[in-house]
C-alpha cells in the first residue's frame, strides 16, 4: 500500500507532469486562462490518461511483448490512444450529453497530445504492473490538474496586474510557470523511487 501511495505522490507532486517533466505544455498554456475551463481540462486529462494507460498496458503486455514487437510501441500507442479518444468522445456524446457539454471539446484537444502519450510510454519503459500503471496514470493526471488549476487561478488575478507591455500574454505566463516550478522544486528529493 505504501508503495502505491509513494508512487502516486511522486507522479503527482515530486515529478509533476507539467512543471518538472514539461509534458502537455500546449494545453497548460492554452487552456489556463479561466478557472472553470482548466478544472474541466484537468478532469478530462486525468480520466483519459487513466483509461488509455490501462488499454496500452493490456496491448503492451499481451500483444507487443509476446510477439517481440516492443520497438513498435510508439506507433501502436499513438494510433491506439487517438482512436480510443475518438471512440470515448462518441460514447459520451451519445450516452452522457451533459458531461459532453462540460468537457467534450477538451477530449479532441488531447487526442494526440504528449499528455496522454507520455504516461503509457513511461509505464512501458518502467515495466510497471497493471496496478502500478493505473496509480502512476492517476497521479500524473492529478498532478496535471493541480498545476493547471493553480496556473488558472494565478492568471485570473493577473488580469488586474500592471504587467510590462512586452511581457503581456505568453511572456508573463511563462515567467509565472517558472515561479510555480520553482516552488515545486522544493518537493524534489522528497521521494526516491
Which residues form the interface with other proteins (CB under 8 A)? 19-26, 29, 71-75, 78-79, 82-83, 112-114, 117-118, 121-122, 125, 164-167, 170-179, 181-182, 184-185
The cell numbers describing 99, all together, are 458531461
Dist. CA 45–CA 62, nearest whole Å: 25
Q: How far is the CB of 118 from other proteins (least distance, A)?
A: 6
Cβ distance to other proteins smaller for residue 24 or 40: 24
Q: How far is the CB of 126 from other proteins (least distance, A)?
A: 10
Cβ distance to other proteins smaller for residue 37 or 82: 82
Q: How far is the CB of 84 from other proteins (least distance, A)?
A: 13
Q: What is the CA radius of gyration of the chain?
A: 18
Cβ distance to other proteins smaller for residue 42 or 118: 118
User: Which residue, chain included where needed, has cell 514539461?
Assistant: 22
Q: What is the DSSP string of 132-183?
A: HHHHHHHHHHHHHHHHHHHHHHHHHHHTTS---GGGTTHHHHHHHHHHHHHH
Q: How big is the chain, counted in residues?
A: 193
Cβ distance to other proteins smaller for residue 28 or 103: 28
Amino acid at each position: 500500500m505504501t508503495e502505491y501511495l509513494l508512487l502516486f505522490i511522486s507522479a503527482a507532486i515530486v515529478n509533476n507532469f507539467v512543471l518538472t517533466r514539461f509534458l502537455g505544455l500546449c494545453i497548460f498554456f492554452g487552456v489556463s486562462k479561466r478557472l472553470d475551463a482548466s478544472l474541466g481540462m484537468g478532469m478530462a486529462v486525468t480520466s483519459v490518461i487513466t483509461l488509455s494507460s490501462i488499454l496500452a498496458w493490456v496491448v503492451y503486455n499481451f500483444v507487443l511483448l509476446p510477439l517481440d514487437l516492443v520497438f513498435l510501441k510508439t506507433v501502436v500507442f499513438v494510433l491506439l490512444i487517438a482512436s480510443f479518444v475518438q471512440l470515448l468522445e462518441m460514447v459520451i456524446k451519445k450516452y452522457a450529453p451533459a458531461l459532453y457539454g462540460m468537457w467534450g471539446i477538451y477530449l479532441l484537444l488531447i487526442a494526440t497530445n504528449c499528455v496522454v502519450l507520455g504516461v503509457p510510454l513511461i509505464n512501458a519503459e518502467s515495466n510497471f504492473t497493471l496496478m502500478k500503471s493505473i496509480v502512476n496514470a492517476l497521479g500524473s493526471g492529478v498532478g496535471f490538474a493541480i498545476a493547471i488549476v493553480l496556473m488558472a487561478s494565478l492568471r485570473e488575478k493577473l488580469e488586474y496586474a500592471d504587467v510590462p507591455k512586452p511581457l503581456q500574454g505568453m511572456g508573463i505566463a511563462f515567467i509565472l510557470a517558472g515561479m510555480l516550478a520553482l516552488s515545486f522544486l522544493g518537493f524534489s528529493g522528497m521521494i526516491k523511487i
